[in-house]
Structure 1
Amino acid sequence: MGAISLLLTLDEVENKQFEFGGGIMIKNNELTKNLIKTSSELNEKVNGDYYRLKYHLMPSVGFLNDPNGFIQFNGEYHLFYQFNPLYPKDKRVCWAHVKSPDLVHWSMLPTALYPSEWYETHGCYSGCAVNNNGEFTLIYTGNVKNKLGKRETYQCIAQSNDGENFVKYKNNPVISNAPEGYTTHFRDPKVWKHDGLWYMSLGTQTEKEEGVVLLYSSQDLLVWNKIGEIAGANTKKLNYLGYMWECPNLFKLDGKDILLFCPQGVEPNGDLYNNRYQCGYLLGKLNYKMGKLSYGDFTELDRGFEFYAPQVSRDEKGRLLLVGWMGIPEEEDSPTVKNNWLHCLTIVRELHLENDKIYQNPVEEMKLLRTNETKYENVVINNEQIRLNNIYGDCFELVCDFSWENVLEFGIKLRCDDEEKQKTLLYYNTKEEKIILDRCKSGLSKTGVRKCKIVNRKKLSIRLFMDKSSLEIFINKGEETFSSRIYPKEDSKNIFFYAQGGIVNLNIKYWNI
């Protein structure tokens, strides 16, 4: 998954021109030369960064954000993501493209989309992929801005015969700007088929700056008709949930219709909504004829510091899979920026519904990465802190099952130096019934604390994945998750377990990755 080159050689790019349905992939020599020159010049600097990840997808150079086009096509998993190789010098958002047989071992393919047309001069923005009767089709937002910053947004299509080389539809765009009553913040199409028709959800905002998701339908992916508003921020139930809704996914899970999206402009509320922008879902029933979702409360999907713009896809096994961006828009002060790269994606997760709540768990295939198992059973921690042999490092999977009768607090200290001046805390307070992630001493990352309620059942399961500078935590088999980036020193690799005010029993499994 690591630092695989995203770019072809210059000769390969300049010689490529493909036709499809009358469309032409236009060569953009100036852009490709800049991309290749930038990648070549910065390769050593980027790959020399300690915080580069071992088993997460990340850009070979430059900026990564939203995952796009997640699909299983002809037995292989394909994933695209927003990619700006010239960051921070210039904003030319492309679609990088990777594929995998198993969701954990990825190979790089040629960059799928470059901003080469009039309807996408400032970037090929987020979108999705579908299998249209054997034709691999991408649907994305073309973004255009003039010198005054005025925006135009266009929904566009690109198609492929071979699953690798994509050609833009000759009559793009298929939807030009938002309908009357909405602003040109109109983007992130997610398309699916239902009862023989194609449907598209799109994030936008009203002219009163209230976030909404719109529903469109089409028979052929080319001509689209607006049906209505699936849901919107300005309702009594949602109490003004933000000025813009991005990256909508609408899907069925265990018999329920779910709208997953990212509202911007939501004020913090206790333990909730403490990131710059949020991500969560509404669960209910979609009326396809009216384009309306009946729904309950908004629920945050991830409790960590960096999680945004997830995309879901159903595979040939029937699993509903999710991958997200371990980042937040407009928060770009990571220590990796000086080495000319930024951000990563999460590991792939499988979703299921339990008591009307989405549970997330790493896909089964993550076990393929395990090496050198270390196992401890019935460890007793009596109001003390302990360290266990062979549980140490910066790239691992750790599973901890705690049980107790009377204890005030217990947890794990990750990525500690010997003096504990640097550490990342994950602990449970039994009185407050809260699981807490504290990165105030995690290193170069922003400081802060994230919390959420977990009912005290005298048992707690924690499964976590550490990968140099990323941390993904799964509580009670996916009941809650925390996705975050941390930047400790290279020699901060100690792991401690502790209990305060009582005794806990602990079973541990640990693998190097």
Structure 2
Amino acid sequence: MEGDVSIIMTDNEKKLLEHAYEEVEKKRNTTKMDPYRQVFHLMPPTGLLNDPNGWIKWKGTYHLFFQWYPYDTSHGPKYWGHYSSNDLVTWKEEPIALAPSEWYEKNGCYSGSAVDNNGVLTLIYTGNVKDEEDRRDSYQCVATSTDGTHFTKLGPVIDSLPDGYTAHFRDPKVWKKGELWYMVLGAQTVEEKGRVVLYSSANLTEWDFKGAIAGAGIGGIVDFGYMWECPDLFSLDSKDVLIISPQGLEQEGIHYQNKFQAGYFIGEADLDNVIFHHGDFAELDHGFEFYAPQTTMDDEGRRILTAWMGVPEQDEETQPTVTNGWLHCLTIPRELRIHEGRLWQTPVKELQKLRHNQESIKETLSANELLVFDDLAGPAMEFMLTGLEEIKGIFEWTFRNEARLIFNGGTHLLTLERRNTRTHLTEQRHVRLDSLKYLHVFMDASSLEIFINGGEAVMSARYFPSEKDTSLTMKTNEKVTVSLDKWVLS
């Protein structure tokens, strides 16, 4: 990685960037040797990646920033890493966009968003500050760029908290409607209730607090987590959608099984009166790793989402990539639409450019017969499986002997199963379906993203199979004829 640190910046910022580049280059070769490095998912060059940030298409190029601690696989003071792409398939590693160099961000340049302000790429993010006793202050900050690569920090634009809120006040998502800019922030009340608050501005630097637009005590929600992170409010298909990552939800049957969740409300937002009338909360992903999603709208009018394929405090330190100095990745970009009152997610069409060596197979499985596909031609594959509508019993699909999909036609329950990296015991996640029509699977060296019934539901997971095991097997307890299309992805 090469970084131009000759632009105007403070001495401390220059020093931090130079040190980060040196450390990354020292470790890059070790990281590259890891067999679990992904083929087509975005990962950190070294160190730890988490939330996607600043997701935007600006002047014809997609820019995707991410929370990054380049030195280690722990959650240290966060930088903003940066990738760019012209097609959502081939990505370029850009110089570090933000380093925690100034007093208002010394413990991390936390999550935020990006907007185009009259041709200027503008980042709005949270500066995190902690004192010797671990007490926190939060500042909402701005940085600008005219070339999309090098950023000038303007400092805090919101430097105080509204009454009744703690310093857990972060992750600004900004957009423009009419003549005004709007910002939603994830927040926590002093009673430790999660909320989303709304600000407005005429110029991106002077902001007016409008109030809480969603959260505990609003819109019929009594108690729903102690902190709401990474809010994203946007219009889609004549509705308004609020995406949040609530912390502190208790498991309810097959729901909310991860340490922290990510999901959405659909309704109507009245920004003038700070009211969001909405339906029930729904999870965005029913797998093991999915958090802090962020969306953008591109030139085609598509609403595209990506997320961190990880969860805070959930078995991070036991993932085997830690040994080789890196941790976590992002999901593939997903296009959103509203269908039958729910958000549906589908892989963006550009990913078809990754496809090579298509094979189409039609097989009839007899009861309790094991169908083995042992020539996958590599760890990165795409599968489309159809012919599942007639399943009344149990159907199983195993990936490299490390993860398994199980559909029970009697209970309509689809289960994703894998081995836990900490306990080494089997663990499961579930989604209930009216019917199972087809499965669309993206398999990378250490991840699975499973799109169900054309986007009705998604299950994402990291998994860590043996490098030598490329097997794929299917089994059912009844006679079933299935059709499988598969591609090598590169």
Q: Deviations over 1:297-325 (max 9, x none)?
A: 00001001000001100000000000100
* Distance in 1 of aligned mates of 2:420 and 2:84: 37
Q: What is the letter of the counterpart of residue 503 of structure 1? A: K
SS at match of 2:205: coil
- The 2-side partners of 1:177 and 1:27 are apart by 25
Aligned to 1:505: 481
CA distance in 2: counterparts of 1:318 and 1:130, whole angstroms:
16
Q: Is the 8 A contact 1:443 1:489 kept in 2?
A: no
Contact 1:405 / 1:503 at 8 angstroms: preserved in 2? no
Q: Matches of 1:108 and 1:292 in 2, distance apart?
A: 40
2:33 maps to 1:48: yes
Q: Structure 1 residues 393, 498: CA separation in 2 closer, same or farther (over 3 Å shift)?
A: farther
Over 3 Å counting, the alpha-carbon distance change for 1:293 and 1:370 in structure 2 is: same
Which amino acid in the other structure matches residue 52 of structure 1?
Answer: R
CA–CA distance in structure 1, aligned partners of residues 358 and 10 of structure 2: 49
Mapping of 1:346-495 within 5 angstroms? 346-377=331-362, 379-383=363-367, 384-388=369-373, 390-391=375-376, 393-405=378-390, 407-416=392-401, 423-440=402-419, 447-456=426-435, 459-495=436-472
**In structure 2, what is the Cα distance between the partners aligned to 1:236 and 1:135?**
37
* Local SS of the residue matching 1:174: strand
Cα drift, residue 337 of structure 1: 1.2
Q: 1:265 to 1:446 in 2, by over 3 A?
A: farther
| Structure 2: gaps (5+ residues) | none
Structure 2 CA distance for partners of 1:403 and 1:91, relative to 1, 3 Å:
closer
**Distance between the aligned counterparts of 2:230 and 2:194, measured in 1?**
12
How far residue 428 of structure 1 moved from its aligned partner, in angstroms, is 0.9
The alpha carbon displacement at 1:237 in A equals: 4.0
One-letter amino acid matched to 1:466: M
Shift, 1:233, TM fit: 2.8
Partner SS state of residue 185, structure 1: strand
- C-alpha displacement at 1:503, in angstroms? 1.9
Matched, 1:70 2:60: no
Q: TM-score if structure 1 supplies the norm length?
A: 0.91
Does structure 2 retain, via aligned residues, the 8 Å contact 1:121–1:142?
Answer: yes
Aligned to 2:289: 306
Contact 1:129 1:136 in 2 (8 A): yes
Question: How far apart, in 2, do the equivalents of 1:454 and 1:503 lie?
Answer: 21
Give 2:266's aligned amino acid: L
Contact in 2 for aligned 1:439/1:447 (Cα 8 Å): yes
Change (3 A) 1:406 1:316: closer
Kept after mapping to 2: 8 A contact 1:392/1:495: no
Alpha carbons of structure 1 residues 442 and 82: separation in structure 2 relative to 1, 3 Å: closer
Aligned residue identity for 1:154: Y
CA separation of 1:486 and 1:445: change in aligned 2, threshold 3 A: farther
Deviations 1:39-63 (A, max 9, x none): 2322222111111111111011101
Q: Deviations over 1:207-240 (max 9, x none)?
A: 0000000011000000000112111134684441
Residue 198 of structure 2 contacts residue 210 of structure 2 at CA under 8 Å; is this kept in 1?
A: yes
Q: After superposition, where does 1:209-358 map in structure 2 within 5 Å?
A: 209-234=192-217, 237-331=220-314, 332-333=316-317, 334-358=319-343
Q: What SS does the corresponding residue of 2:28 show, helix, strand or coil?
A: helix
- SS of equivalent to 2:184: strand
Residue 402 of structure 1: CA displacement? 2.5
Q: Report the Cα distance in structure 2 between the residues aligned to 1:466 and 1:177, rounded to whole angstroms.
A: 45
Question: Which residue type is aligned with residue 485 of structure 2?
Answer: K
Residue 419 of structure 1 is matched in structure 2 by none
**1:117 lines up with 2:102 in the alignment:** yes
Aligned mates of 1:278, 1:248 — CA distance in 2: 12
Q: Of 176, 198, 201, which residue of structure 2 is paired with 1:193?
A: 176
Partner of 2:17: 32
Q: Is the partner of 1:336 in helix, strand or coil?
A: helix
Q: TM-score, normalised by structure 2?
A: 0.95
Post-superposition offset of 1:445: 6.9
Alignment of 1:9-28 (within 5 A): 12-13=4-5, 16-18=6-8, 24=9, 26-28=11-13
Superimposed CA distance per residue, residues 101-125 of structure 1 (whole angstroms, 9 cap, x where no aligned partner): 1011100111100111110000111
Overall identity of the aligned pairs, in %: 43
Q: CA deviation at 1:80?
A: 0.4
* Shift in CA distance, 106/25, structure 1 to aligned 2, threshold 3 Å: farther
Give, in angstroms, the shift of residue 34 of structure 1. 2.9
Seen in structure 2, the aligned counterparts of structure 1 residues 137 and 235 have a Cα distance that, compared at 3 Å, is closer
| Pairwise CA distance, 1:32 | 3.0
**Residue by residue, what CA displacement relative to the aligned partner does 1:405-461 show, whole Å, maximum 9, x if unpaired?**
463111311112xxxxxx3111210111111101138999774100011113xx521
What is the rounded CA distance, in whole Å, between the counterparts of 1:240 and 1:90 in structure 2?
A: 29
Distance 1:25 1:314, change over 3 A: farther
Distance 1:327 1:445, change over 3 A: farther
Query: What is the 5 A alignment of 1:129-208?
Result: 129-169=114-154, 172-208=155-191
CA-CA distance at 1:89 after TM superposition? 7.0
Count of residues in correspondence between the two structures: 486
> What is the rounded CA distance, in whole Å, between the counterparts of 2:187 and 2:293 in structure 1?
17
Which amino acid in the other structure matches residue 507 of structure 1? S
SS of equivalent residue, structure 1 residue 110: coil
Q: Is the 8 A contact 1:404 1:504 kept in 2?
A: no
Paired residue secondary structure (1:17): coil
Report how far residue 126 of structure 1 moved.
0.3
Residues 392 and 494 in structure 1, CA contact (< 8 A), matched pair in contact too = no
Distance in 2, matches of 1:251 and 1:313, equals: 9
SS at match of 1:473: strand
